[in-house]
Amino acid sequence: MQVLPVLARSHDVVLWTDQDQVSPEVHAIARVARYDPAAPPWREINNGTISIYHLGNHPDLHAGVWRVSTQQPGIVVLHDLCLHDFFFALSVRQGKERAAYRNAMERWYGQEGRESAEAFCAGGVSVQTMQQNFPLTREATRNSLGAITHCGRALEDLHETPACPTATLNLPYAAAGESPYRAWLAVRDGVPRPPYRLVVFGYLNRNRRMGAVLEALAGIGEREQFRLDICGQLWDESHIRTEIERLGLGSIVSLHGFLSGEQAEQKLGTANLAINLRYPSMGEASLSQLQFWDYGLPTLVTRTGWYASLPEDATAFVRPESEVADIQAHLRAFLADPGAFRVLGECGRRSLKNHDPESYVDAMTRFAAEALGLSPRVSALALARRVGGDLTEWLPAAGSPYLLERASKEIYTAFEGRRH
């Protein structure tokens, strides 16, 4: 919803979805069309200038998108870079005895990939090990004209650069105006202290480190000076409740579940410090982080993935290897000098100018035009693979270099367009 209104102002946008429910506000911005991933209406889809596919790690949301993207080349926007879990879940769901998953692992990581996939399927390797060693990012862009990520450094760290052109764009965020921002600051400043309000937001998966946050909070003597609001869907709520009880944090920590926009605004407007940890990171950029900055909230983040690239003067970093100690140190520092943390939040708020949706749409449009110009390369590469495969089947190795060279030259000349 950050990009769509801006994009729809300058382009004819059709939003294709296989989901049952679409937010009513979306209908007001662009035409919504539905597709069946098993039989997409290619004619209608093909009449768009370019398809932009949004992919992340959520099988329910992204399986259909992925399925279409593999058949109709377009621009893939990678909301997560580590997609191992997605492809594994997908193959299990499709009931293909995990063959697709194993093939993908072999395609990108060779024999080691296949063997690791088999070991993983047999329960012999941990999820974390697979995520770190085999992120399968390139599988998501296998048939793409281009890929957009929101974190170039994380992509480099993964060594999973796609074969297609890639653009790194700052995650877009339309910041609130100065007037509501000042109002939030006034509300925050007007509340008697302590206790200070800590807030955690979003889809709270395992990698959001809630255990470490609770342990850190429980382990400091000043814990009564804080209140922690956990807002969002927890991966295992009963486990978290048990932990809260075990650590004696019942009077300090509140679970709120998923909040409406108004409720979220109230919580963010009155919070003093946000905690936005990820480990391991899936390479994702965090819209929540930009939202925290919009409210001028200082934030604790893990020094990993996209978060590691955030401005030093706008965030307080937590090291994965010593996260409990780092969280505790930051909480104590906050108590000692809340003003210094307030400055962090203000710097974050200023950095939102780098996330302007207008700039994002301009850059995305330019990138899409470049990618379209290179689209014959997709069929050229497929053709090259077929030629190579065919020659390997019937031609002795000694004879193939000449033919391969001839074919390569002609494919290059005809489809790359560099002759003139």
Partner 1 sequence: MKILVATSGVPFIRGAAEILAGSLLEELSEAGHEAELTVIPFKDYPPNRIPDQILACRLLDLTESCGIRIDRVIGLNFPAYLIPHPHKVIWLQHQHRSAYDLWDQPAAGGLVHSPDGPVIRETIRRADRELIPEAEAIYTQSLKVSDRLLRYCGIAAAPLYYPPANALLFYKSPPADYFFFPSPINAANRQWLAIQALAQCRERVRIRFAGEPGSRTQQAECVHAARKLKLNDRIEWLGGVSEDRKRDLYAHCLGVVFPPADEDYGCVTLEAMLSSKPVITCSDSGGPLEFVLDRQTGLVAQPTSESLAQAMDMLWADRGCGAAMGEAGRARYRDLHISWANVVEKLLC
Residue type, 44: E
The residue length of the chain stands at: 420
Among 110, 257, 399, 417, contact with partner 1 (rule: CB under 8 A): 417
Query: Is 411 among the residues that bind partner 1 (CB under 8 A)?
Result: yes
- 69 vs 351, which CB is nearer to partner 1? 69
Q: How many CB atoms lie within 10 A of CB 88?
A: 25
Paired strand residues for 32: 15
Paired strand residues for 199: 229, 274
- 40 vs 348, which CB is nearer to partner 1? 40
Query: Is 400 among the residues that bind partner 1 (CB under 8 A)?
Result: no
- 44 vs 112, which CB is nearer to partner 1? 44
Rounded distance between C-alpha atoms, residue 272 and residue 264, angstroms: 14
Please, which of residues 345-374 interact with partner 1 by CB under 8 A?
372
CA dihedral 352, 304, 125, 161 (to 10 degrees): 70
What track of x and - describes contact with partner 1 for positions 89 through 128 (by CB under 8 A)?
----------------------------------------
- Choices 157-165, 249-257, 317-325, 411-419 (CB under 8 A): range interacting with partner 1: 411-419
- 164 vs 249, which CB is nearer to partner 1? 164
Among 13, 380, 395, 404, contact with partner 1 (rule: CB under 8 A): 380
Please, which of residues 142-201 interact with partner 1 by CB under 8 A?
145
Query: Least CB distance from residue 142 to partner 1, whole Å?
Result: 13
- 270 vs 375, which CB is nearer to partner 1? 375
The residues, any chain, with a CB within 8 Å of residue 185's CB and separated by 6 or more, are: 296
State residue 109 phi and psi, 5-degree precision.
-125, 10
Paired tokens of 329: 């140190």
CA-nearest of 98, 15, 118, 6 to 360 is 6
What track of x and - describes contact with partner 1 for positions 52 through 91 (by CB under 8 A)?
----------------x--xxx------------------
- Choices 29-37, 88-96, 240-248, 409-417 (CB under 8 A): range interacting with partner 1: 409-417
- 34 vs 406, which CB is nearer to partner 1? 406
Among 267, 376, 388, 404, contact with partner 1 (rule: CB under 8 A): 376
Give the angle 135-138-140 at the CA atoms, nearest 5°.
95
Total number of residues that touch partner 1 (CB under 8 A) = 31
- 4 vs 374, which CB is nearer to partner 1? 374
Rounded distance between C-alpha atoms, residue 174 and residue 17, angstroms: 24
Give the HSE-up count for residue 58: Cα atoms under 13 Å, Cβ half-sphere.
9
Among 335, 387, 391, 404, contact with partner 1 (rule: CB under 8 A): 387
- 92 vs 387, which CB is nearer to partner 1? 387
Query: Is 42 among the residues that bind partner 1 (CB under 8 A)?
Result: yes
- 168 vs 365, which CB is nearer to partner 1? 365
| Binding site residues, partner 1, CB under 8 A | 40, 42-43, 45-47, 68, 71-73, 145, 372, 375-376, 378-380, 382-383, 386-387, 406-407, 410-411, 413-415, 417, 419-420
